[in-house]
Amino acid sequence: MSHFDGKNEIVESINNKMKLSDSEKNEIFSQIKDRIHHKKKTTTSMRYKYYLTLASASFIFLLLLFPTFSSFFQDSSSGQWGGEVPSEVVEVVNKYFEALGTGDIDTVVQYSHDTRHTNKAEQKVHYARINEPTTETEILEIRRVTSDEYEVTALIFENDEVLELRFPVKKMEIGWQVIVGMDIVRE
């Protein structure tokens, strides 16, 4: 007997309830056509304006980035993450990701601030619900944002999948914390 036997009736019932009506499908296809037609109306002059705007924005962006690059090259020889990253930040980040790898929930909670929870106890209860908390990770970079905020870029490995994610690390009353519980930027 298949594992799925006994659930087929539930699935069938959900499928019926979620099924789109003909009018919904027609409406969605009309919207698809509208979007496609709207795209076609993009004229050459509009494209020219778009590229001009993009080029200008890129130029301004590079100008703004210049001081960051300058300081990066100046400090890159002092330490693994560059001289700008305090050792306390590096320690917190290392301990947090190491704890993820070993499934040490206490340490994960200690070094992270979860914006969805009002306190550490609540955060810990939530994390304890996860059955297999171990995750292989690799820290790629820690970057200074301000004197009170850094950003860590890490690789997360799962089966054949590799994700590159970035997390803020902020100075809080209890010390430096990896901030989680918000939208995470993925490369």
- Residue whose CB is less far from other proteins, 7 or 49: 7
Three-state SS across 151-170?
A: EEEEEEEECCEEEEEEEEEE
Q: Strand ranges (DSSP E) for 59-172?
A: 112-114, 136-146, 149-158, 161-172
The token pair that represents 20 in the structure block: 């789109």
C-alpha torsion 8→9→10→12, nearest 10: 80
Q: How far apart are CA 63 and CA 53, in angstroms?
A: 15
169 contributes a contact to other proteins by CB under 8 A: no
- Residue whose CB is less far from other proteins, 166 or 171: 166
Size of the site for other proteins (CB under 8 A): 55
User: Pairing state of beta strands 175-180 and 112-114?
Assistant: parallel
Q: How far apart are CA 187 and CA 170, in angstroms?
A: 21
Nearest to 182, CA basis, from 108, 116, 137: 116
Nearest to 175, CA basis, from 53, 70, 87, 98: 87
Q: Looking only at residues 126 through 165 of this chain, which bind other proteins when binding is defined by CB under 8 A?
A: 126-127, 129-135, 137, 156, 158-161, 163, 165
The site map against other proteins for 22-61 (x = CB under 8 A) is --xx--xx-xxx-xx--xx---------------------
The residues that bridge with 55 in the sheet, in sequence order, are: none
- Residue whose CB is less far from other proteins, 18 or 64: 18
Least distance (Å) from other proteins to the CB of residue 158? 5
Least distance (Å) from other proteins to the CB of residue 157? 10
Least distance (Å) from other proteins to the CB of residue 133? 6
Q: Looking only at residues 82 through 101 of this chain, which bind other proteins when binding is defined by CB under 8 A?
A: 100
Chain residues in the site for other proteins (CB under 8 A): 2-4, 6-7, 10-11, 13-15, 17-20, 24-25, 28-29, 31-33, 35-36, 39-40, 100, 108, 114-117, 123, 126-127, 129-135, 137, 156, 158-161, 163, 165, 180-184, 186
